[in-house]
A and B are shown apart, each in its own frame.
Chain A
Amino acid sequence: MVDAARHPKIDVRTYTNVERVEGYVGNFKVQLREKARHVLADRCNGCGECSKACPIEVPNYFEMNLAPRKAAYVPMSQSVPLRYTIDEEACIHCYKCVDACGALEAIDFSQEDKVVWEDIGSIVVATGFNHFDPSVIPEYGYGRYPNVITAMEMERLNNSAGPTTGNLIRPSDQKNPQRLAIINCVGSRDKRFNPWCSNFCCMYAIKNAVLLKQMNPELEISIYYMDIRTPSKGYEEFYDRARSMGIRFIQGRPSLITEDPQTKNLFVHSEDVVLGKISELEYDMVMLNQAAVPQPDVDTVSSVLNITQSPGGWFMEYHPKLRPVDSPTDGIFLAGACQGLKDIPSSVSSGLATASRAGRILHSDEWEIEPIIAQVWEDRCVMAQGKVCGVCSRACPYGAIVIEEGKAASVTVAKCHGCGGCVAECPHNAITQMHFTDAQVLAQMRALLADRPEEKIFAFRCHWCSYGGADLAGTSHFDYSANERGIRVMCSARMDPDFIYEAFRLGAGAVLYSGCHPQDCHYITGQRVGATRADRLQKLFEKLEMTSGRFRIEWISAAEGDKYSRVINEMQKVIDNIPHDQLMAEIERLRPEMEKRARRMYETPGVDKALVYSDEMVQAITAKEVKSGA
């Protein structure tokens, strides 16, 4: 900690929030809000006179609220930096602190939040985790029984720097306990609360038991567990040591804790799996190893940084095996427990790994980004003909399109992230996206729907989420109908209505319009552009009396392989439930309308060639199909 503060290349900004992040790899702009501490950092020498003078006491979060702090405070005596903070909410403005500070004149009540922008090449996110509140588990009585405490409270009570200077006492009577129960998996591996394993509680249960036993060998300690998980180096050996010290391990998840109202002693009711018996044992104190959960502001951090979450609320890595510390956004990396729970050795390893990944970028003079950006055909843009438009620029999440009267719209290359939203929104087909042109998509669609299209579920997927969800369905072997045929574009914003009309015109049995969940969008608001359009299409198809379910909108994250598979299978059922003649009749009935609407796309530059080539392709495919079917 101190090393970080002392390092000449590290600028520590505490009491500071990240409010906005703009830009892209190598060129981020980050807005920070340094909250007013009402203490001047360069004058405060950390003497703490202000705190001594302050008459206000409030619970200290750092001590898990077991001990108070003043309104003028540091969370702990070893705070880094050692600068006091005046808690605006608690302060009564008596200004005793100002007098106490005296000639140093470090306290300044006129100080306001400072908002600054920083230019940054690469970002490491290391926002950690939070603690589950076990008071929502009624059977354990946390919050009602004074002698039931959490593991974090134990860490403070058993800590020589903590509020009791390391003397473990019962909250009810300040006596030293003689019998302690430690309960694992409190809110973890419990479908009612959090399905995951919290990774480090088995080990810290053993740690605390060993430490307490070393201090007081008379203390009887039982650890209730479902499984003991000790897979890292030396961990199993540590567990063995704990057992040889006489710490008792009881396999079973306690179903109930009751309290003797007189003694405030506790009875832990549990199965003992090893003995095959129900046990009810009396203790002086119970420690609950509460689950580790995501930070409460994880959604805000996600949306500010444009990074997605895995189920449960952990930040999602680019690839769990091959790129475990990369976020899907180039130049943003993930360290520590915020990506998935890790103990200290693993958190440090991942932190160091991010430094190496970010270093690759930061030691380069230039960085390459994919050229899959938008480009305007100036002769097609109606702005150039003096008309009013600008639809594209309103769709762009990055303000990358410049609109000037009398001039064709123009894309600022460095700002365009390549979502393709403008391309799909332009009513005049005047924009294209490199590597995802109309001609390319049309050629793909025609190949995929060449043969027996009415049997096919045609799926549009965005690169970052639903394509990843389809990958995960495969990786997890969640089987789904092999009639699915998919196309990948970068964002649901690129899913041109013309594509959907064309898919139905070609006779697709069903069409899936899928992308990320709104909060996961890789392009800030790209999904919203896609979703608005999809809803419009849905309404149109309803009006045209298309069988419901033939067009389906689903937001599927890269972590939702099960959902991808389920949705495809449900769409297969929709097709199966329509009698074949009826389906063919519906396709024919709607074809002229679809054709009329899709026709606009055929005028897009390059599409003419795609039409010719596609005909050849379809002929080749259907000829072959007939041959191999014979």
Chain B
Amino acid sequence: MAEQKPEDELRIGVYICHCGSNIAGVIDPAEVAEWASHLPGVVRATDTLYACADSGQTLIKEDIKKYNLNRVVVSACSVRMHETTFRAAVSEAGLNPFLMEMANIREQCTWAHGHDKDGALRKAKDLTASAIAKARFLNPLTMIKVPVTKRAMVIGGGVAGISAALDLADQGIETILVEKEPTIGGVMAQLNKTFPTMDCSI
């Protein structure tokens, strides 16, 4: 992987996702891309039908090489949805995963402002600009590796906890099953025969 120097000339690639009609039904992603192409540090800006699909990820990965990008901005959905997806994608193309920044123009824009298309467009542009501005100052980071204690704890000895504990133990993992009552079993142990099989519950 090529070493990134954050102080190198800024080369930001910006991708505005349609998410089918989820975003493109309210705003024109191509217009946002065109607008973003004029912002400082942006060397590549384009719209894409589904950024997270194979085709979208391939586009980003190829662009990183073709345009020698050192920052990537994806204006698409929530970070809770796809931050890991795009971090992985840029990382496959040799970029540090922390040099990717997302703007949330779906959950926090087109989905919330369907009634106000102009307002949504202005907001999508601003959110994209904000992500570009943050991207400018991103630093390459490495994940922290921590050791793993190979023991599990299951809290609650009902049918769910017992199932979890047995499966963990069958995988060879030492498991502590904690139950606050004097017996495990939970509600199921109190039941008569149970649906759907109508067999006895214990």
Contacts and interface: CB of A to CB of B under 8 A. Distances in A.
A448 B103 CA distance: 12
5 nearest A-B residue pairs (beta carbon)? A336-B160, A482-B119, A351-B163, A126-B161, A355-B167
Nearest to B143: A368
B183 A76 contact: yes
B53 interface: no
B108 A370 contact: no
Nearest to B169: A9
A14 B183 contact: yes
Contacts of A481: 116, 119
Nearest to B41: A613
7 contacts: A14-B182, A15-B182, A61-B181, A156-B190, A351-B160, A355-B167, A448-B129
B164 interface: yes
A98 B198 CA distance: 42
Nearest to B163: A351
A27 B80 contact: no
Given A14-B179, A37-B182, A443 B145 contact: no
A305 B155 CA distance: 11
A120 B167 contact: no
Given A9-B175, A358-B168, A119 B137 contact: no
A128 B156 contact: yes
Interface in B147-202: 147-196, 198, 202
B151 A121 contact: yes
Contacts of B41: 613
A475 B111 contact: yes
In the complex, which of the residues A75, A232, A344, A473 has the most CB atoms of chain B within 10 Å of its own CB atom? A344
Interface in B103-124: 104, 106-116, 119-120, 122-123
A79 interface: yes
Contact of A123 (B104, B115, B148, B153): B153
Interface stretch (A141-149, A246-254, A506-514, A616-624): A616-624
A125 B154 CA distance: 6
Contacts of B186: 128
B177 A207 contact: no
B130 A447 contact: yes
Nearest to B98: A435
Interface stretch (A17-25, A175-183, A185-193, A256-264): A17-25
B181 A338 contact: no
Contacts of B98: 371, 435
Contacts of A474: 106-112
Interface of B: 35, 38-41, 78-81, 98, 104, 106-116, 119-120, 122-123, 125-127, 129-134, 136-139, 141-196, 198, 202
Interface string A469-482: 01111110111111
A440 interface: yes
Contacts of A614: 133
Given A11-B175, A79-B182, A335-B160, A621 B39 contact: yes
Contact of B156 (A336, A414, A613): A336
Contacts of A413: 144
A577 interface: no
A606 B151 CA distance: 43
Contacts of B147: 26-27, 365-366
A471 B108 contact: yes
B178 to A, nearest CB: 5
Nearest to A79: B183
B108 A9 contact: no
Given A121-B149, A363-B150, A613-B136, 9 more contacts: A15-B182, A62-B183, A118-B176, A319-B80, A319-B81, A335-B163, A348-B163, A371-B144, A474-B109
Interface string A73-92: 11110111101010000000
A468 B167 contact: no
Contacts of B120: 482
Contacts of B155: 18, 123-127, 301, 305
A284 B94 CA distance: 75
In the complex, which of the residues A235, A338, A342 has the most CB atoms of chain B within 10 Å of its own CB atom? A338
Contact of B114 (A25, A79, A439, A479): A479
Contacts of B146: 24-27, 366-369, 414
A78 B189 contact: yes
Contacts of A335: 154, 156, 160-161, 163-164
A431 B173 CA distance: 40
A152 B136 CA distance: 61
Contacts of B185: 1, 76, 79-80
Nearest to B184: A80
Interface string A1-34: 1011101111111111110000011111010100
A155 interface: yes
B153 A126 contact: no
A464 to B, nearest CB: 9
B69 to A, nearest CB: 18
A12 B179 contact: yes
A625 to B, nearest CB: 8
A15 B78 CA distance: 43
A39 to B, nearest CB: 10
A124 B161 contact: yes
A555 B123 CA distance: 24
Nearest to A130: B187
A486 interface: yes
Contacts of B195: 203-204, 206-207, 235, 238, 343
A15 B35 contact: no
A243 interface: no
A312 interface: no
Contacts of B139: 434-435, 437
A484 interface: yes
B153 A118 contact: yes
Nearest to A32: B178
Contacts of A16: 178-180
A479 B171 contact: no
Given A16-B179, A447-B133, A565-B112, A208 B192 contact: yes
A128 B158 contact: yes
Contacts of B110: 474
B153 to A, nearest CB: 5
A114 interface: no
Given A78-B202, A345-B196, A126 B160 contact: yes
Interface string A597-629: 000000000100110011011001101100010
Given A9-B172, A11-B175, A124 B152 contact: yes
A10 B151 contact: no
A414 to B, nearest CB: 6
A481 B112 CA distance: 8
In the complex, which of the residues A155, A414, A445 has the most CB atoms of chain B within 10 Å of its own CB atom? A155
A10 B192 contact: no
B175 A10 contact: yes
